[in-house]
Structure 1
Amino acid sequence: MAGVAAALGACYTRRVTSPSSPPLQLLIVSASIGGGHVAAARALEEAARARGLEPQHVDLLSYTPLGFRRLYRQTYFDLVRTAPDFVDWLGKRLDRRPREQRTRQERVMARLTQLISRSLLKLVRSSAPDVVLHTHFLPPAILHARRLRLPQAVVITDYAAHNLWLQPGIGRYFVASDEVAAHLQAVGVEAARVRVSGIPISGRFARAPSQAAARAALGLAPERDVLLLMAAGLSAGVLRGLLEQLATLRWPLTVVIICGRSHELVGVAERETARYRPHDAAQAVHFVVHGFTEEVPRYMAAADLLVGKPGGLTTSEALAMGLPFAVVNPYPLQEEANANFLLERGVGLRLEPLTVAPFKLRRFLEDPPRRAAMRAAARALARADAADAVISSLLEEPLAP
């Protein structure tokens, strides 16, 4: 193993010091637990290709047995939906003493996980990348358990850094905000290893059309306000309850509901909105239901307000679009942290309980100065170029092995 590490280190040194060295060999490792980690990795891949690189992007779970893959995904989502208090307790317990050095129990867990990820280790060894760039905390733990000495960087995909993100051997952490950077430094990470880049998102969010152009392209009435409901991640019950409340709102409003790949949520949205019978067409809410769509950047450009769960990527995308965010039913830990980030900085409001949604939404809609102030606050926090900032950092300040 020492020979492999030495060979990789020598290869890396030659590549970054020689004037005629080939482009940076970049391996991006994500994990498809939710969509955010993979979406961030794809944004990094896009930015790297724009710089003339040929990155390799792999999903950790593609290198694990099918049974583990299903269990890992399902267990996580079942827990956060049915036992959020337990998840919150467990997460805070694991985060009591954040640090990069692993405890015995954490080392045992990393080794157990490594046993089901041998294919990933083989890939890393065979590709001999100059840098391994992670958008999930599990892959660096696996590589550390095997004591692979490779230049590694981590992109933290939320507006908080749980202890699980901290791993020995990480040369650089890319974080969403100054607050996260301050936290890492407070728990022992040297300032030189932390970069405030923002959360990587697709370049499409930096190239979005104007609101008027987006509405025209999507066939949305220009004289009506637009609420974009990102339903993916909501339970069927929460979506049903939210739609029931929105149907009581009296305002010239178009509600665009995007359900992602969930056929269940599409069915719920179509059934609930089909039952809606407005008495006053001019002051009625109009509903539009979609499943998966590639037009999310355009819908965000068209919208006046986004309603949904504050995942790290969705939050970052909304900020890039200057879009106020109404938070619904955040998962414990990371989504709660994202919600707090939005609320503290004047970009968000919280629809909790759902029965207050019509009251809060109407108060927002009928207050143009507040709407403008929230848009300005969102734009001030936007980091649409986060993916390019990460790639630029790795190119301009190479990591030592």
Structure 2
Amino acid sequence: MKKKRILFLYELVGFGHKQIANATAKRLKEKHPEFIIKSEDLGGKYYPFVIGSMRIGYSLFVQNASGLYNYLYHKGTNRKSRFFLNLPTSIVKEKFKEFIQDFNPDLIVSAYALDTSAVSLLDDKELKTKLIAIATDFFVHSYYISKNVDKYCVASKFSKRVMVDSGADPKKIEITGLPVTKKFLIKGNKQKAKRKFGFSQDKTLILIVGGGLGLGRIEKALETLDSIDEEVQIAFVAGKNENLYKKLTRKKFRKNVKIYGFIKDLDSLMDAADIYVGRAGGNGISEVFAKRIPMIYFGGLPSQERANAEYLESIKVGFIAKTPKKLKEVASRMINKKELLINMKKNIQKNNMDKASDNIIKVIEKELNF
């Protein structure tokens, strides 16, 4: 019997797309060791300048021009704007086609909208394979919707509704949740985790994270939470933002504050945390969900992350803090009202996505008639 060949696609514009693709690919290999599986960053492989420029541009938008990003993002949800969005995908299409024809996969799983669109631009003679798209945010941009996609895997009922409103065929949409790396699904002991990182057992630990790139207004979040009246301790993750890491390690704080760079055992640090403060990217949310940590959304983009955060607030698992003053108010309320944190954790449990990888694998198996 011919071995099934599966190709996973992602791009390194941020780290969430790769994490989601690799988490699913690894789980698929565990369940089907006979499959031949490849995970590829094709844009970075063949067009490093283009992808590198996108990454730099994304960082600059987040830090300095979020309003312009918001305008362009929502302008892009207009179906008439597809022509401009398709320009970069038409550029990368030929190299994608060469790689796909060489690997000859039975199925492609794409965790990035540009890749999904590029593959979908291939005609039926060029694309003799199935295509599954994983939407990596709760609010799904219409750019994910492409003609040759066989199935969409989305995070929630809300995500499906957004896609249907944008013109997607509801029969093609499967609600799977967003997958995480396996280690985030392991529920560690909070007391042991606090001891491991040198934090007190009897004080609330606030974890501030700016994603892998250390973006957003996370420095302002630290400054604000270091000044609150409540007795708290703070773990701050700067990610790969080395300048921010160096700057903050030289700074004096009122509270017990520990500064980390890109940390490999973030899952263990999350075990120690009582409250999570950060942006609301899809991958970050799924990790926070897996660890059952109530969240405060602060300092992210006013576009897909804003919509993600509004969804979180609507299901009562997190709060939006638009200003430092609001961040201080919300954090104080969560610290002082233990029942509030308990209820938020119950709501996370109710909406958990722990089976997301397995759910996506079921979709893959069905498309392969396996």
> Where does structure 2 lack aligned partners over 5 or more consecutive residues?
none
CA contact (8 A) 2:317 2:347 kept: yes
- For residues 43-85 of structure 1, give each alpha carbon's deviation from its aligned partner in whole angstroms, at most 9, with x where no partner exists: 1121111112341000133233332222222222223432222
2:85 and 2:248 map into 1 onto residues whose CA distance is 41
How big is the shift at 1:362?
1.5
Note if contact 1:29-1:60 (Cα within 8 Å) is conserved in structure 2.
Answer: yes
Counterpart of 2:169 in structure 1 is 190
Counterpart amino acid of residue 60 in structure 1? L
Match of 1:64 in 2: 46
SS at match of 2:289: helix
* Residue of structure 1 aligned with 2:64, choices 82, 93, 100: 82
More displaced 10-residue stretch of structure 1: 343-352 or 240-249: 240-249
Mapping for residues 280-295 of structure 1, pairs under 5 Å:
285-295=255-265
- Tell whether 2:19 aligns with 1:43: no
The 1-side partners of 2:219 and 2:366 are apart by 50
Change in Cα spacing, 1:80 to 1:260, as seen in structure 2 (3 Å) is: closer
Taking the aligned partners of 1:349 and 1:108, their CA distance within structure 2 comes to 35
Q: Of 333, 338, 341, which aligns to 1:363?
A: 333
**Counterpart position of 2:200:** 221
Deviates more, 1:364-373 or 1:325-334: 325-334
What's the CA shift for 1:261?
1.6
CA contact (8 A) 1:63 1:118 kept: no
Separation (CA, whole Å) in 2 of partners of 1:240 and 1:161: 28
1:157-189, Cα deviation, whole Å (9 max, x unpaired): 000111111011100000000111123334443
Kept after mapping to 2: 8 A contact 1:234/1:309:
no
Given that 2:208 and 2:218 are in contact with CA atoms closer than 8 Å, whether structure 1 keeps it comes out as no
Contact 2:111–2:133 (CA<8 Å) still a contact in 1?
yes
157-166 vs 239-248, which moves further: 239-248
- Whether the 8 Å CA contact 2:23–2:180 is kept in 1: the answer is yes
**Structure 1 residues 399, 193: CA separation in 2 closer, same or farther (over 3 Å shift)?**
farther
Q: In the TM superposition, what is the alpha-carbon distance from 1:32 to its structure 2 partner?
A: 0.8
Distance 1:366 1:108 in 2: 50
Aligned counterparts of 1:265 and 1:399: Cα–Cα separation in 2? 50
CA–CA distance in 2 between the matches of 1:337 and 1:399? 36
Residue of structure 2 aligned with 1:124, choices 100, 110, 130: 100
2:357 equivalent to 1:392: no
Contact 1:309/1:327, CA 8 A, preserved across alignment:
yes
- 1:236-294: CA deviations, max 9, x gaps? 8x33332222221233322111111211121232233xx22x4xxxxxx2111111111
SS at match of 2:158: helix
Q: Is the 8 A contact 1:27 1:55 kept in 2?
A: yes
Question: CA 1:81–1:117 in 2, change beyond 3 Å: closer, same or farther?
Answer: farther
Residues of 2 paired with 1:88 and 1:112: CA distance?
20
Q: Secondary structure at the match of 1:34?
A: coil
Alignment deviations for residues 6-40 of structure 1 (CA, whole Å, 9 cap, x no partner): xxxxxxxxxxxxxx443x31100001111111111
Q: Verify: 1:251 aligned to 2:227, yes or no.
A: no
Q: Does 1:143 align with 2:119?
A: yes
Among 55, 58, 71, the residue aligned to 1:73: 55
Q: Is the 8 A contact 2:93 2:121 kept in 1?
A: no
Computed over aligned residues only, the root mean square deviation of the Cα atoms, in angstroms, reads: 2.2
Is residue 304 from structure 1 mapped to residue 277 from structure 2 by the alignment? Answer: no
In 2, Cα distance between equivalents of 1:358 and 1:191: 41
2:12 to 18, 32, 49: 32
Q: Does 1:317 align with 2:270?
A: no
Q: Which amino acid in structure 2 is aligned with residue 29 of structure 1?
A: L
Match of 2:91 in 1: 115
- Aligned position for 1:13: none
In structure 1, give the amino acid aligned to 2:144: W
- 8 Å contact kept, 2:209–2:218: no
CA change 1:140–1:241 in 2 (3 A) is closer
How does the TM-score come out when normalised to structure 1?
0.84
Which residue is equivalent to 2:240? 261
- CA deviations 1:169-228 (Å, max 9, x no partner) are 100000000111123334443333111001111111111313223223434322221111
- Asked whether the 8 Å contact 1:111–1:145 carries over to 2, the reply is no
8 Å Cα contact 1:307-1:328 kept in structure 2? yes
Determine which of 370, 375, 386 is the counterpart of 2:345.
375
Change (3 A) 1:89 1:70: same
1:49 is matched by which residue type in structure 2? K
Query: Between Structure 1 and Structure 2, how many residues are aligned?
Result: 364
Secondary structure in structure 2 of the residue aligned to 1:55: strand
Deviates more, 1:251-260 or 1:183-192: 183-192
- Following superposition, the deviation at residue 312 of structure 1 comes to 0.6
Q: Secondary structure at the match of 2:223?
A: helix
User: What is the match of residue 139 of structure 2?
Assistant: 160
User: What residue in structure 2 maps to residue 96 of structure 1?
Assistant: 78
